[in-house]
Amino acid sequence: MPSLDIAWTVAMRLRTASKGTSATRGSARSRSTFHRPKRAAATTNAASVGSPTACVGSLGASWGNRYVPASMNPRWVSTCAAAGTEDSRAAKTIVRKLGVPSDRIADDLAATVGNPGSAQAGVLLSAALETAAPGQVIALLSLADGADALLFRTTEAVGSHDTARPVGDQAAGGGPVAYGKFLAWRGMLTPEPPRRPEPARPSASAASRNEDWKYGFVGSRDRSSGAIHLPPSRVSMTGDGVDDMEPVPRADTIGTIVTFTIDKLVYSPSPPVVFAVVDFDGGGRSPIELTDVDPADVAIGGRVEMTFRKLFTSDGIHNYFWKARPVRTGAPAPTASSEES
């Protein structure tokens, strides 16, 4: 990230070797490594701990006087975010023991986003950068299989960076999910499967051949006519152009629903399937499945944005691709005239 300077890294790996049936009987050895830029790393052993809560004292001591520069004061931290633990009380206890003022503790977004798992640390860091000023120190704690403490110092580049989709706006763009459907998605309920043949298992070789389209939603533009093809094509749909294409990303482009259909019979883990034909601002048309939407609310002319989602699971293999969801951010959706062609 150009707006960040990794000032220090404190990596603490806590491995618990369980002894007996109780978690409190476990033992672990913590190895902590402090890295200074352009200097050799110093390795030392910390005290043994037996649970995430027990590592509070070890991590607090590390921050306070062992593995960070002597000139580093916890009160210099502008923002401190803790991620990666299902026990929010343990995370709050750790943060309190670090000595960072309470008004500088970042919201963990549990009330709006929940716990996104391994992505939580990155989400919290992105949210902190949105409001950061040059020269500030951001502390990011990841408490999962052990504990990692990362300290970043922002550079002048953060002041000129314009966030296209703030984390808060993305969280507000979600839609309500029925509790029964949520439990089914989490594997806690087993609903009756669709009475249709399951789809074929995903092909790794096919995904590799179409990597840009599958994972980046990148189409192709005919250099001679400017026609945009979704999915990408070697042959232009206008004129006689062949293999005269340039890539054109469409993952961040807003689109408009031209027509749609609601299919209640097709195989889907989340029926019914709402399928729409979408015209993208600046060019390009593609049939796309809609998500995060009530079928009764779909209308021709509705504005949608792209999101990378799971399509289905076959033979234990998950298949992902792009879907479209309604634009629900507080700011009005960009119009076609405001998009780059």
Category of 4 on φ-ψ map: left (φ > 0), alpha (ψ -120 to 50) or beta: beta
Which stretches of the chain are DSSP H helices? 55-61, 88-97, 120-131, 157-160, 167-172, 179-185, 204-209, 211-216
pLDDT for position 60: 44
Residue 281 has a pLDDT of 95
The single residue listed with the structure tokens 């306070």 is 64
Cβ atoms of 114 and 104 within 8 Å: the answer is no
pLDDT reported for residue 103 = 84
A 10 A CB-CB count for 79 gives 22
Give the homologous superfamily in CATH for domain 4-169: Thiolase/Chalcone synthase (3.40.47.10)
Q: How do the domains of the chain map onto residue ranges?
A: 4-169, 193-338
Q: How many CA atoms lie within 13 A of 254 on its CB side?
A: 18
> What whole-number distance in Å separates Cα of residue 236 and Cα of residue 105?
54
User: 303-314 and 285-289: which strand pairing?
Assistant: unpaired
Give the model's pLDDT for residue 141: 86
CA distance 236 to 244: 8
Nearest CA to 55 among 7, 100, 87, 78?
Answer: 87
- Chunk the chain into consecutive blocks of 10 residues (it has 341) and report each block's average pLDDT, rounded to whole numbers: 42 31 32 33 29 39 47 75 72 74 85 83 91 89 80 86 83 79 84 78 89 94 92 88 91 95 85 93 94 91 93 87 84 41 31
Alpha-carbon gap, residue 174 to 329, rounded angstroms:
9
Give the C-alpha separation, 339 to 341, whole Å.
Answer: 6
What secondary structure letter does DSSP report for 213? H
Residue pair 221/235 in contact by the 8 Å Cβ criterion:
no
Which helix (H) or strand (E) segment is 207 a member of?
A: helix 204-209
Note whether 81 and 141 are within 8 A (CB): yes
The two domains 4-169 and 193-338 share their CATH topology (first three levels equal) = no
Fold observed for domain 193-338: OB fold (Dihydrolipoamide Acetyltransferase, E2P) (2.40.50)
Q: Is the pTM of this model over 0.85?
A: no
pLDDT score, position 88: 65
Least Cα distance to 229 among 186, 278, 286 occurs for 286
State the distance between the two ends of the chain, measured CA to CA, in whole angstroms: 28
Partners of 252 in beta bridges: none
